[in-house]
Structures are given as C-alpha cells and as structure tokens.
C-alpha cells in the first residue's frame, strides 16, 4: 500500500480564483511547491480531487480543465514533484447544464473521487491525508477515512471555527503542514 496526500486544487495548490481555467490566470499558492517537494521527499504520492462546477455551468470545458491540469503538472515536474492523477467532478445538482446537472457521488463532500484514487493507487488510508481549504474537502476526507487537514489558504479561514469543533488540524499552507509532518518522521525510529 502507498501513502498519499490527496489534495484539493483551488485554494490549496493554486491561488483561489473563481472558476479558474486559463493558464495565464494560474499561480501557485504560497508554500505549495515547497510543501509538495518536502512531502515527496517523505515518500508521499499525490493525487488531486477537485470540484469543477464551472464545467457544469458552461463557463469552460473539460478540455480547458485538462489543459490547465497538465500545465500544473508540467510546472511541478520541473520542481521534481508529480501529481499521479487529477480527478475532477464536472457536475452540479442545481446549477449544471444538460448532462452536467446531476446528483453524483463524485462531488465533494461525497467520496467518489477519493474512493477511485484509493483503489487505483492502492492508498493506505491510515497513513494518508486529505488536504484542502474547504469544509467539503474535510468532510470528504473524514468519510473516506483518511486524515483531514485544513489549510488557511483559499477559503480556509472561513472554516476555522468548524475545524476546531471537529478537531481537524489547521495549517497556514501546504509547506507548514509538510514541515510539521517531517518533524513526526524525525521522531520515528526504525
């Protein structure tokens, strides 16, 4: 089994911009690249699970999303980091258009994307994390039985009170989470 960090994309890896889909609008969140590099050194693999209701609403296409995700991976690979796979939910139950207006099991906080990643990459639930900036990320992590982590980037600050109630660890960004996790590994003797 493999240990993984399952990541939300918008507000966690990249700066939150409503319905981001253009490469020219993309920018990494502070500490994201450094955090991913450190987590990779600790032996984690990465998968992304992202709600993309902009597709459902007709703001951009699945092809636009795939193009941006490929660009993100190209940038990260130059830094020695690889996202194994980007899973995305293109649906919205109320605001979707046509085939995208459905109740699905992939839209977080549902666990469809996480379950698919867990199966496909043989992910060790006990040793893995779901990191995101939104309550839906945290709820999906809890439901999928991986340890949830909230980052304060993106929408994270809006959910601090609820996370404190749930006892969910909170970090400034991915890098601060990775540094803390590295300390844990230093204290483990094999």
The phi and psi torsions of 55 (rounded to 5 degrees) equal -70, -50
Token representation of residue 131? 């990191």
Asked if the structure places residue 157 within a domain, the reply is no
**Reported pTM:** 0.95
Question: CB of 69 within 8 A of CB of 63?
Answer: no
Asked if the structure places residue 85 within a domain, the reply is yes
Asked if the structure places residue 13 within a domain, the reply is yes
Q: Cα(124)–Cα(108) distance, rounded to whole angstroms?
A: 20
Q: What is the pLDDT of residue 184?
A: 80
- Please state, as a whole number, how many other Cβ atoms lie within 10 Å of the Cβ of residue 153: 24
- Residue 31's nearest CA partner among 168, 189, 119, 151 is 151
Asked if the structure places residue 128 within a domain, the reply is yes
Asked if the structure places residue 48 within a domain, the reply is yes
Token representation of residue 169? 């660890």
Which residues does the annotation mark as catalytic? 8, 10
Asked if the structure places residue 151 within a domain, the reply is no
Q: What is the pLDDT of residue 33?
A: 98
Asked if the structure places residue 62 within a domain, the reply is yes
Domain of 55, CATH number, reads 3.40.50.1000
- Residue 79's nearest CA partner among 31, 111, 124 is 31
The residue range of the domain holding 32 is: 4-132+171-186
Report how many domains make up the chain: 1
Q: Quick check: helix, strand or coil at residue 4?
A: strand
CB burial of residue 46 (10 Å; 0-12, 13-18, 19+) = buried
Residues of the chain with confidence (pLDDT) below 50: 189-190
Q: What is the pLDDT of residue 188?
A: 52
Question: CB of 28 within 8 A of CB of 13?
Answer: yes
Q: What is the pLDDT of residue 190?
A: 40
Token representation of residue 97? 């258009």
Does the bond joining 109 to the residue before it have cis omega, within 30 degrees of 0? yes
Asked if the structure places residue 164 within a domain, the reply is no
Q: What is the pLDDT of residue 189?
A: 45
């Amino acid at each position: 089994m493999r240990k993984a960090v399952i990541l939300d994309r918008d507000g966690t890896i990249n700066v939150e911009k409503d319905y981001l889909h253009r490469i020219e609008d993309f920018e990494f969140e502070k500490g994201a690249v450094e955090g991913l590099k450190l987590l990779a050194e600790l032996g984690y693999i990465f998968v992304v699970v992202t709600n993309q209701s902009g597709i459902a609403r007709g703001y951009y296409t699945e092809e636009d999303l795939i193009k941006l995700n490929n660009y993100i991976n190209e940038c990260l690979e130059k830094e020695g980091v690889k996202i194994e796979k980007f899973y995305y939910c293109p649906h919205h139950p109320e605001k979707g258009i046509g085939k995208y207006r459905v109740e699905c099991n992939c839209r977080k906080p549902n666990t469809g994307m996480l379950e698919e990643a867990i199966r496909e990459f043989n992910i060790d639930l006990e040793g893995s994390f779901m990191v995101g900036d939104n309550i839906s990320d945290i709820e999906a992590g809890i439901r999928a039985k991986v340890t949830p982590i909230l980052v304060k980037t993106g929408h994270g600050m809006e959910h601090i009170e609820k996370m404190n109630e749930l006892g969910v660890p909170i970090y400034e960004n991915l890098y601060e989470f990775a540094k803390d996790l590295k300390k844990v590994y230093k204290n483990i003797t094999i």
